[in-house]
Every structure is written in structure tokens, then in C-alpha cells.
Structure 1
């Protein structure tokens, strides 16, 4: 079963910013990429390192521990196969950001394309 949880306001997460939230025993990091909010599990599937401080290149986040790259739109590593992190749907409702919590899914509604490395990956 899914439910929506408020995680802040739109004004708190401006383009280029990120925010770490803890919900239902999960650590989740939200990113505002050119006005589009993406949310992923804050744990690299390789060895569990926090992804919150990873370097961004467009919509691609680099794990600070070992350099694995994940597309924030899908949660997957660029290219065929590879590891993936859970993604979450985030919606703006009356100026507030609401995160949908259910099973992590890389099948959330696709966000618009990001500029940068995502297209080169």
C-alpha cells in the first residue's frame, strides 16, 4: 500500500539543491534538477554508502565511495544491466512536496530529460 508524506515545501528545495529525509525507516535523498524533483534511496546497492553527497552531472549521480553512477530518473546505472537504487515519486501539492512511499520503484513516472552526462552515458 502506498501513502504520501510531506517532505517540505517547494521553496525549500531550489534548483541545484538536495535534501536528505528519513521516512518509515528509510533514508531518502531528494534532488532538484532544473525544477524537477527526483528522489532515490540514500544507499548505494554496491556496499551501502550514502549517496547524498555524491557528485551530480546532469541527472547522473556518482557514488562518493566507489564511483558507481546512477541516473536519478530511473535509479539505474547507465548502460545495459548493472545495479539500481530505489526511486520514489515526488509531487508538488499546494506548495508542498509530497513523497509517495510504497515499494521502491524504478518505474515511477519518467521525468523530463536532464542536460549533461545523462545523454552521454
Structure 2
């Protein structure tokens, strides 16, 4: 398990905004949902495609490749063609910065 990776300052991740951080080879999509920060692997579980390219609508992100939607809070797949969830990662906000890590 690796250590925490700094994503950005809290001022750079306002509600409704997102960033992609890298923990080694793992891309992590970090999203601020009305002040609650969540992190998911930036990879659709249906096709290996980055979710960060898709639109965020409320608490969901849509994969632009085939339209699969995922819950940003839980990683749950919400519609076909994705059936498996996306891995969720821990997030912490500390000293004015947002942090995440690949905790597998």
C-alpha cells in the first residue's frame, strides 16, 4: 500500500469540480460533491476508458464511450453496459489540501 498522494489545494477543487491524481500507475478521479470529496478509479468497469472524460451530473459520472453511469459516492454501476462497480479510494482533506491513495 502506498502513501497519500496530494491531489490539489482545497481552493482548486470547488463544489462540482474534479481532478485526476495518479498513485503510481493508478489514475484516480477526485470530485467535490457539495463539499464532500470522493475518489474513484478513473477507469470504467465496462471498458478500460477514463471516466474523467465524461460528464458529471449531480452525484453521477457518465462514461463517454458507451454511456455507463456510476455513483460518485459509492462507485456503484447504475446502468448497462457496466455491471461491476468502480473501485472507490479513501480521501482526506488536511491542511488546506486534498489527498487520496490507492489502498489496494
TM-score, structure 2 normalization? 0.87
Aligned residues between the structures: 102
Give the equivalent residue in structure 1 for 2:35. 35
Residue deviations 1:45-74, cap 9 Å, x none? Answer: 111111002122211111111011110111
For structure 2, the 5+ residue unaligned runs are none
Aligned counterparts of 1:53 and 1:78: Cα–Cα separation in 2: 18
Gaps spanning 5+ residues in structure 1: where? 104-121
Per-residue CA deviations over 1:101-120 (Å, capped at 9, x if unaligned) read: 311xxxxxxxxxxxxxxxxx
2:46/2:83 contact within 8 Å kept: no
Runs of 4+ with >6 A deviation = none
Residue 4 of structure 2 aligns to a residue whose secondary structure is strand
1:85 positional shift: 0.7
Counterpart for residue 22 of structure 1:
22
Instruction: Tell me which residue corresponds to 1:3.
Output: 3
TM, length-normalised to structure 1? 0.76
